[in-house]
């Protein structure tokens, strides 16, 4: 009787164990397919900038060493400017000569305008003389019919009238010539002023080249490499320094399709670096690739390298970076943990003992 009872109980125990195992496997599989958090390996990276010369020339001095911290606007490289200084001297002399010519042309305009005014005054005078001569001529023409004046007097009146007409016509012609002279003088003045503007433009261009000959940092960061040294001659666009922008630091990691599709832009991330395993660094997802790729060999685990996955980028808060900028080191390996399900507490994550929320 005892044997009959033990066998069914053993079977029940085995069945319960199998059922429990299957249920646990399903839960694990469900958790894997719909995780609350996902972790991917990567390295801390920063945007790299190649500082280059705008113009061809010789490097005069490199003011920083590899590894130096730099700030935005800090002078880093001085290019040789002897040629530009000579060009600036020549341009300033050219402008001075142009200004002298422009002043002379302006004075000439005033002279021609005075001559035009005199021509108008002379014309008015000749017009008045003509009107008087015409009246005398008209009056004498009436008097000659009654023999009140002699023929000689009439002839003299007519001659005076004709001379007045000729003088008035000449005065009007002089106005036209004076107006043409004024217009020509103004055109000359405009041309000379344009020469001044052109000379000023040359000065500004050369000054811009002089300003560009002092290469300054465009970011807060660190000097990574010195590519060129003092005395080297560079072509336009030749690189001198390689910089890293330590206000633009991120980690790139990779996620499978069923995970990548659930990662939201702006999702909360914590970066756990191998060098600082007890100090999670807050970050945000800023990019999720739209096309999958084979993960590069730099990914730490062989399992991840074999997968066809999506690239994800998580940026560290720039405010936090500026606060600790001297401690930021790129190339450090680590792991990025991203929250897949919004609202889930980090207490349910593998970082529950490190992240206090």
Q: Across all residues in the chain, what is the average pLDDT? A: 86
In this predicted structure, what is the pLDDT of residue 214? Answer: 96
In this predicted structure, what is the pLDDT of residue 33? Answer: 56
Q: Does residue 1 have a pLDDT over 50?
A: no
Q: Does residue 7 have a pLDDT over 70?
A: no
Q: Does residue 264 have a pLDDT over 60?
A: yes
**Per-residue pLDDT band at 151 (split at 50, 70, 90):** confident
Do 131 and 91 share a domain, yes or no?
yes
The enclosing domain of 118 has a CATH number of 1.10.287
> Cα 288 to the chain's mean position, in Å?
27
Q: Considering only CA atoms, which of 317, 266, 132, 312 is closest in space to residue 304?
A: 312
In this predicted structure, what is the pLDDT of residue 338? Answer: 94
User: Residue with structure tokens 């005075």?
Assistant: 114
Domain count for the chain, please give it: 2
Q: Does residue 19 have a pLDDT over 70?
A: no
In this predicted structure, what is the pLDDT of residue 34? Answer: 65
Do 40 and 124 share a domain, yes or no?
no
Q: Does residue 312 have a pLDDT over 80?
A: yes
Do 292 and 183 share a domain, yes or no?
no
In this predicted structure, what is the pLDDT of residue 145? Answer: 77
Do 106 and 192 share a domain, yes or no?
yes
Q: How far apart are CA 249 and CA 328, in angstroms?
A: 9
Do 89 and 166 share a domain, yes or no?
yes
pLDDT in tens, 60-114: 999 999 999 999 999 999 999 999 999 999 999 999 999 999 999 999 999 999 9
What average pLDDT does range 175-195 have in this prediction? 93
Do 202 and 249 share a domain, yes or no?
no
Do 249 and 186 share a domain, yes or no?
no
In this predicted structure, what is the pLDDT of residue 316? Answer: 94
Do 44 and 87 share a domain, yes or no?
no
In this predicted structure, what is the pLDDT of residue 24? Answer: 43
DSSP symbols for 122-164: HHHHHHHHHHHHHHHHHHHHHHGGGTSS-HHHHHHHHHHHHHH
Domain residues for the domain of 186 are: 83-212
Q: Check if the beta carbon of residue 138 is closer than 8 Å to that of residue 219.
A: no
User: Residue with structure tokens 């000065």?
Assistant: 203
Do 256 and 325 share a domain, yes or no?
yes
What average pLDDT does range 8-32 have in this prediction? 49
Do 280 and 318 share a domain, yes or no?
yes
Return the higher-pLDDT residue of 299 and 190.
Answer: 190
Residue 88 in domain: yes
The enclosing domain of 332 has a CATH number of 2.40.30.170
Entry pTM: 0.67
Q: How far apart are CA 348 and CA 110, in angstroms?
A: 90
């Amino acid at each position: 009787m005892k044997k009959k009872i033990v066998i069914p109980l053993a079977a029940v125990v085995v069945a319960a164990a199998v059922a429990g195992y299957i249920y646990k496997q399903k839960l694990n599989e469900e958790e894997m397919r719909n995780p609350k958090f996902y972790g991917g390996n990567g390295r801390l990276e920063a945007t790299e900038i190649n500082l280059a010369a705008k113009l061809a020339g010789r490097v005069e001095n490199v003011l920083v060493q590899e590894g130096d911290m730099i700030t935005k606007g800090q002078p880093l490289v001085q290019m040789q400017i002897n040629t530009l200084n000579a060009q600036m001297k020549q341009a300033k002399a050219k402008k001075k000569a142009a200004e002298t010519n422009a002043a002379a042309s302006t004075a000439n305009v005033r002279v021609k305008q005075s001559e035009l005014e005199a021509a108008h005054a002379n014309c008015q005078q000749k017009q008045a003389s003509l009107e008087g001569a015409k009246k005398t001529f008209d009056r004498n023409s009436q008097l000659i019919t009654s023999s009140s004046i002699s023929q000689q007097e009439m002839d003299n009146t007519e001659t005076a009238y004709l001379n007045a007409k000729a003088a008035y016509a000449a005065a009007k012609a002089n106005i036209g010539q004076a107006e043409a002279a004024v217009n020509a003088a103004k055109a000359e003045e405009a041309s000379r002023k344009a020469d001044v503007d052109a000379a000023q433009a040359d000065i500004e261009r050369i000054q811009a080249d002089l300003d560009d000959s002092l290469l300054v940092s465009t970011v807060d960061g660190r000097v990574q490499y010195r590519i060129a040294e003092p005395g080297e001659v560079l072509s336009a666009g030749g690189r001198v320094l390689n910089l890293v922008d330590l206000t633009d630091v991120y980690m790139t990691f990779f996620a499978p399709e069923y995970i990548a599709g659930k990662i939201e832009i702006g999702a909360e991330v914590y970066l756990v670096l191998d060098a600082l395993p007890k100090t999670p660094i807050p970050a945000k997802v800023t990019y999720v690739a739209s096309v999958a790729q084979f993960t590069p060999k730099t990914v730490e685990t062989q399992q991840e390298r074999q997968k066809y996955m999506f690239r994800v980028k998580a940026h560290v808060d720039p405010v936090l970076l500026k606060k600790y900028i001297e401690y930021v080191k790129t190339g450090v390996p680590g792991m990025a943990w991203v929250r897949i399900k919004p609202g889930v507490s980090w207490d349910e994550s593998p970082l529950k003992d490190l992240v206090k929320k």
